[in-house]
Amino acid sequence: MSLDPLIKAAFGSPPEGIDLPGNQVTENNASVIILLSIAAISIARYLVARVKYALSLSFNDYAIVVASVLVATTVGMGIASGSKEST
């Protein structure tokens, strides 16, 4: 894959040792999965504490669960779409 001449004219040649077409999908996916796991553990601990000490869940607790499901779905779609090689 060659560098776009308009980009090269605007910004110049890339420094030596930079692999522009390099693929970092695996590293990006790993960091997203780790952060999602930390968030899921935090939410689970929060909900356990709420149930244990407050006897019931309120509307915002359900909103947190719905939001976390939507975030997990977005992460899953991002991982699925980013894992395919683009040519």
- 50-84 pLDDT, tens digit each: 999 877 888 999 999 999 999 999 999 989 987 66
80/62 Cα distance (integer angstroms): 27
Give Cα 69 to chain centroid, integer Å: 13
Q: How far apart are the first and last CA of the chain?
A: 9
**pLDDT tens, residue by residue, 11-39:** 888 788 777 666 788 888 999 999 999 99
Residues 6+ apart with CB under 8 A from 82: 25, 28, 29
